[in-house]
Structures are given as C-alpha cells and as structure tokens.
C-alpha cells in the first residue's frame, strides 16, 4: 500500500438530528477516539465517521442510515461511506471502478454501535463492534400510568428539542393516521409549540386515503373529537396505485412490508410537496410499534417468548452476533427506518420520529412486559394504547381518543390494498433486476475501467 494516502471517502459528512449531550464536533471527536461511553451520554440521532491512522470508526443511531463499501484503489483498501447504496455506486462509477461494485457487498452500520475497521488490505479483517446504548431492561414500576408518563415524557422531550431547532414560523407536517403513535405525536408537537411560545396551529396533519381506507374515517373522527379539524388535511387519491418498484429503488431494500409502507409514504409526501412547495419539516410516529412490541405475531414466525427474551428485537433485529444478522441490512428498525428516511429525503423533508429517540426506547424497555402480560398475547396488543394514552394525559392534560391498530398501507389502501400486496420473492427479484441494469453500464466493454493497482499521476 501507499503510505500517507487518505483512504476514507465520506460522501455525506457528520449528521445529527435533535442531538443532546454533545455538539456535533464533540461527537465526531468521540468517534475518532473510539469512545463509546461518550457517545452513550448523548441523545437524539447522529451518524458520523472518522479515521485514526489505519483505523476507520463509524457510528450511528436508528434515525440516520450509514453504509460503507470497501473499494480497492491505489494498491490498498478505500472505505467509501454514504447514507445510500446508490451514492456509493455513483462514487465508484466516477472513479471508473464501478465494475468492483455489488450492492450486496455494501454494509450497513448497525444502530447503537461504534464500528472499527482496520484498513490493512488482503484481506481486511472483520469490523469490531462496540455498543454505546445499554438501557436497563424491565426495571420500571407495575403501574401503567407511571410507565406511560415516563415513556411519553421521554418522547415529548425529544419532540420539544427537535421543534426548538425548527425556525420560528415554519410549518410542521405530521403524517397522521389517527392511530396511537401519530395521534400522540400530533398532541405533543402542539404542546411543545405552546411551551416555546409559538402558534400550535403551525402543525398540520395529513392523512392518505386511496379509497375506502379506515384511516381517513378514524382520523376525521379523531380531529373532530379533539376539535382540531382546522389543522387536518386529507389527501384523497382514490383509485391511485402505489409505485412499488419505485419504492424499492427509493429505499434500496426488498422487505415487502417496508416496500408497501414506503410506496404509500411516497404518494402522501408527493401530494404534500405539490400542495406546499416550501414545507420542509416533518414528524411521524415511526418506532412506536417497535417500542411497545405492538406487531401481530400471527404475521411472522415470532412467538411471545422470542419477543420478550430479545428486548431489542424490533429495534435491532436478532443482534450482530446472531446467525440471522444481515451485514448488508442489519435488522429491526435499524434496517427498516429507511422506509421513513428515504421517502422524506426524496421530497426534501427534514424528518424526525420522536419514538426512535434513545431515551424513548430506554423508557419503553423499562416496562416490565412479562409482569404486565402474564403470558397473554391479547394483553400485549392492548398495552400500547393504555401506556401511551396515560402518558399523553400526564404530559399534555388531554384525553386522547384511541382507535384500533392497523398498518399504514392497509389503513390508507382500504380494499385496494389486497390488490397491490407483494411478496418478498417479488421484491427481491425487482431489487436485483434494478441493480443488474445499473451494473451493466459499469461492465460495458466501451466504458473506461481502472484497475485497483492504478496510481494517480
């Protein structure tokens, strides 16, 4: 290898959202020094990478994706870092080494870890992962009202911190289904604006309806019951069909539920952008289902036991040491949050989900689920509404209406949803075909290609 050559290319730079406990430069310094304890004393979201000699360190939280690809250039490894796979590929194409690239060779930094990579080459050793988020599990009280206040207050403080960073007078959009999570975020955002001395009506809720969806009916009833009809706007796109292949290209993933969710989000955000060209700030309730383990077990191979014995399963997947762990995609919401991040990025929104904040996750993990459930799946499905409703009452003083849970794509799609549901096999085939078409350009015999041994003049 050539000594003294910079072998780190960071295409996105350090990023943070609602960061607390450190400035962004301080956080980058902690990453460079390899100090997970310092990272653990922060809150909010961040993604950062730094080099210390031949060691590159990367770290992120759930809300800001971070990926890397090891390219071979100038007689040694080059680590290329970005938030998206296509940005990594674009850099390689610019350097005429696109022929080295494969999307499945890219790696997603697992959320809540400081990752160290030694750039020694031939071959590079496996990354070392150091955890910086270590919440206590199940230590909270048995009282649902107390649990709810702790959980919602943590999410509220994240909401308040994020809104404080929004320029005064700027409107804020809420992706609103009338469900527990988006409803609580709506009320917390209004409460935060009041506490900041701002107009709470600067928050506007948007509900997608593709024709006959239950979300429109429940959202309309919710705003009527609360008296917020003037701050709610339905987006009616009856008869429209989501662009599922476009969603796969946007999120660069092939998990069908995330593809469907992203496809519906893209329709909603596109419509909002057309109506409000200058609207920038966006809140949603993503992460609430994961925190309170509120997913139908019947839709998966999970059991109540597997969920309870793996407390961060929904946030992080099975864990970096498990056989099921994917290096390309990690797991849980660490992987799936791209369904929120990428559509928002595509339409120019600065998005934040308070329930993905580490303090909110920690408060949820403090809930003594085994004691609360006593082996009952039905009790699990009812618990979230009780916890969040009690917390919203404690934090805002408002008695929040609660409606049945459903997935976003199902609530927006109504009867049409069954016609555009997709399988994982189909999504994966589309994903691979899209990349086959892109990679064909890099392998075109007419295209200029450089060897990894080529040294710049």
Q: What is the pTM of this model?
A: 0.95
- H helices of 2-143, where? 24-33, 36-40, 85-94
> Which pLDDT value is given to residue 5?
63
The reply to whether omega before 123 is within 30° of 0 (cis) is yes
Do residues 149 and 121 both lie within one domain? no
Q: Partners of 343 in the beta sheet?
A: none
> Which pLDDT value is given to residue 3?
59
| Distance in angstroms (rounded) separating the CA atoms of residues 207 and 188 | 18
Contact present, 125 and 364 (Cβ < 8 Å):
no
Contact present, 237 and 210 (Cβ < 8 Å):
yes
Do residues 117 and 154 both lie within one domain? no
Do residues 273 and 401 both lie within one domain? yes
In a domain, 219, yes or no: yes
Averaged pLDDT score across all residues of the chain: 94
Confidence bin at 2 (pLDDT 50/70/90): low
Contact present, 81 and 58 (Cβ < 8 Å):
yes
> Which pLDDT value is given to residue 47?
98
What 3-state DSSP class applies to 53? coil
pLDDT in tens, 245-297: 999 999 999 999 999 999 999 999 999 999 999 999 999 999 999 999 999 99
- Domain endpoint, select from 133, 164, 181: 133
Confidence bin at 453 (pLDDT 50/70/90): confident
Burial degree of 134 (CB within 10 A; 0-12, 13-18, 19+): exposed
pLDDT in tens, 170-222: 999 999 999 999 999 999 999 999 999 999 999 999 999 999 889 999 999 99
Do residues 103 and 157 both lie within one domain? no
Torsion angle, alpha carbons of 273, 279, 285, 287, to 10: 80
What 3-state DSSP class applies to 48? strand
Contact present, 339 and 251 (Cβ < 8 Å):
yes
Asked if residue 415 has pLDDT above 90, the reply is no
pLDDT in tens, 305-347: 999 999 999 999 999 998 888 889 999 999 999 999 999 999 9
The side-by-side arrangement of strands in the sheet containing 172-175 is 232-236, 203-209, 172-175, 281-283, 350-352
Do residues 126 and 152 both lie within one domain? no
In a domain, 443, yes or no: no
| Distance in angstroms (rounded) separating the CA atoms of residues 443 and 87 | 18
| Distance in angstroms (rounded) separating the CA atoms of residues 318 and 311 | 10
Do residues 60 and 95 both lie within one domain? yes
Asked if residue 457 has pLDDT above 80, the reply is no
- Domain endpoint, select from 133, 168, 187: 133
> Which pLDDT value is given to residue 177?
94
Do residues 423 and 348 both lie within one domain? yes
> Which pLDDT value is given to residue 81?
98
Q: What is the mean pLDDT of residues 137-147?
A: 97
Among candidates 411, 420, 413, which has minimal Cα distance to 182? Answer: 411
In a domain, 213, yes or no: yes
In a domain, 180, yes or no: yes
Do residues 123 and 193 both lie within one domain? no
In a domain, 102, yes or no: yes
> Which pLDDT value is given to residue 299?
81
What 3-state DSSP class applies to 368? coil
What 3-state DSSP class applies to 59? strand
Identify the CATH number of the domain in which residue 214 sits.
3.40.50.620
pLDDT in tens, 42-90: 999 999 999 999 899 999 999 999 999 999 888 788 899 999 999 999 9
**DSSP calls for 108-125:** EPPTTEEEEEE---SSPP
| Distance in angstroms (rounded) separating the CA atoms of residues 264 and 408 | 8
How far, in whole angstroms, is CA 414 from its chain's centroid?
Answer: 25
- H helices of 120-200, where? 144-164, 180-195
> Which pLDDT value is given to residue 330?
94
What 3-state DSSP class applies to 199? coil
Contact present, 113 and 130 (Cβ < 8 Å):
yes
pLDDT in tens, 342-384: 999 999 999 999 999 999 999 999 999 999 999 999 999 999 9
In a domain, 64, yes or no: yes
Tokens 């609530």, residue?
411
| Distance in angstroms (rounded) separating the CA atoms of residues 384 and 292 | 6
Confidence bin at 456 (pLDDT 50/70/90): confident
Total length of the chain: 457
Do residues 112 and 42 both lie within one domain? yes
Torsion angle, alpha carbons of 428, 431, 433, 434, to 10: 170
Q: Are strands 15-20 and 43-52 parallel, antiparallel or unpaired?
A: antiparallel
- Domain endpoint, select from 103, 133, 163: 133
Q: Which domain holds residue 331?
A: 144-431
Do residues 160 and 247 both lie within one domain? yes
Do residues 160 and 258 both lie within one domain? yes
Paired tokens of 368:
């003594």
pLDDT cut 90: percent of the chain above it: 84
Q: How distant, in Å, are the alpha carbons of 183, 293, 373 from that of 145? A: 18, 18, 16
Q: How many Cα neighbours within 13 Å face the side chain of 264?
A: 31
Do residues 284 and 400 both lie within one domain? yes
Q: How many domains does the chain have?
A: 2
Q: How distant, in Å, are the alpha carbons of 97, 294, 401, 413 from that of 390? A: 56, 17, 11, 30
In a domain, 302, yes or no: yes
In a domain, 184, yes or no: yes
């Amino acid at each position: 290898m050539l000594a003294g050559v910079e072998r780190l290319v960071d295409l996105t730079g350090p990023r943070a959202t609602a960061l607390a406990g450190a400035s962004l430069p301080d956080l980058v310094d902690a990453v460079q020094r390899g100090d997970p304890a310092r990272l653990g004393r922060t809150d909010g979201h961040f993604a950062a990478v730094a080099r210390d000699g031949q060691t590159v360190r990367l770290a992120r939280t759930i809300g800001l994706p971070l990926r890397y690809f090891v390219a071979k250039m100038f007689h040694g490894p080059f680590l290329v870092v970005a938030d998206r796979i296509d940005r990594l590929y674009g850099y390689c194409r610019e350097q005429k080494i696109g022929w080295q690239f494969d999307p499945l060779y890219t790696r997603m930094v697992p959320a809540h870890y400081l990752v160290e990579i030694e750039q020694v080459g031939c071959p590079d050793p496996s990354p070392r992962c150091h955890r910086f988020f270590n919440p206590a599990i199940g230590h909270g009280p048995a009282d649902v009202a107390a649990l709810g206040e702790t959980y919602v207050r943590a999410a509220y403080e994240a909401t308040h911190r994020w809104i404080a960073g929004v320029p005064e007078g700027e409107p804020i959009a809420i992706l609103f289904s009338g469900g527990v999570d988006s409803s609580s975020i709506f009320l917390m955002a209004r409460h935060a604006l009041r506490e900041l001395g701002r107009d709470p009506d600067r928050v506007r809720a948007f509900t997608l309806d593709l024709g006959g969806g239950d979300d429109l009916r429940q959202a309309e009833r919710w705003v009527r019951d609360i008296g917020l009809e003037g701050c709610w706007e339905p987006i009616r796109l009856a008869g429209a069909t989501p662009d599922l292949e476009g969603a796969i290209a946007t999120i660069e993933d092939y998990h069908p539920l995330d593809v469907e969710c992203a496809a519906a989000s893209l329709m909603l955000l596109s419509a909002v952008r057309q109506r409000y060209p200058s609207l920038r700030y966006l809140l949603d309730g993503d992460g609430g289902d994961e925190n309170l383990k509120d997913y139908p077990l019947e839709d998966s191979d999970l059991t109540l036991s597997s969920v309870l014995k793996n407390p961060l399963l929904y946030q992080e997947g099975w864990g970096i040491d498990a056989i099921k762990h994917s290096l390309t995609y990690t797991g849980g919401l660490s992987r799936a949050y791209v369904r929120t991040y990428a559509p928002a990025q595509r339409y120019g929104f600065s998005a934040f989900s308070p329930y993905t904040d580490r303090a909110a996750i920690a408060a949820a993990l403090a809930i003594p689920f085994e004691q609360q459930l006593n082996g009952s799946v039905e009790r699990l499905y009812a618990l979230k509404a009780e916890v969040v409703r009690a917390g919203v009452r404690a934090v805002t003083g408002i008695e929040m209406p609660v409606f049945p849970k459903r997935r976003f794509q199902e609530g927006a799609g109504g009867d049409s949803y069954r016609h555009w549901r997709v399988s994982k096999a189909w999504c994966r085939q589309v994903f691979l075909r899209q990349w086959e078409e892109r990679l064909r350009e890099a392998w075109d015999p007419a295209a200029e290609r450089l060897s990894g041994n080529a040294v710049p003049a």
